[in-house]
Amino acid sequence: MKTKRVKPKYVAWLSTETMHKDSIKWLSELRFSKDEQLFFDDLVKSYTLQLIDSKHFTQSKDIVDQLNTIHKETDALINKVIEHEKGLKIMVDGIDQLEEENAYKKEHGKLIITVFNFLEKYKLLKTELFSLIKGIIKGSKQKHLLE
């Protein structure tokens, strides 16, 4: 006898207030990461000579390319969340529009995953950047001690 595998589907019921709070939280985190990226740009500019050194060049180039990509992704995601937040009206307008409301909830569920994945990728990039800069600073301190 064959058994049929059923893939469980987890669907959380989200209130409009919860979805609004999620959107506000995401915007806050994304805007903070955008400000952080300005700091990272300054950090890269401050250590440009050390970053283009032959032993750090490939890793530096990869991280700088990722930073540029993250800038664009952050802007796009901020705009997407702002548009999503504006669409919350459909949930609170008092008119029963089941298809549109379900589409909004699906979009919110996708945004939960998208924002989470983006922030995880962003944290990894920050870790890589800081460890690279830390290695450069340690190397320069050791050179000063030897001189």
pLDDT value, residue 97: 79
| Contact by Cβ (8 Å): 53, 129 | no
pLDDT digit string, tens, across residues 43-86: 988 888 888 876 778 888 899 999 999 999 999 999 999 999 99
Alpha carbon separation from 55 to 20, 58, 128, 129, 139 (Å, rounded): 47, 8, 15, 15, 11
pLDDT value, residue 10: 47
Average pLDDT over residues 89-111: 84
Q: How far is CA 71 from the centre of its chain?
A: 10
Alpha carbon separation from 89 to 78, 82, 85, 102 (Å, rounded): 18, 12, 8, 13
| Contact by Cβ (8 Å): 112, 22 | yes
pLDDT digit string, tens, across residues 8-42: 444 456 788 899 999 999 999 999 999 999 999 99
* Every domain of the chain and the residues it spans: 19-135
| Contact by Cβ (8 Å): 118, 73 | yes
Q: Which of 86, 95, 91 is nearest to 103 (CA)?
A: 91
Q: Which residue has the higher pLDDT, 10 or 124?
A: 124
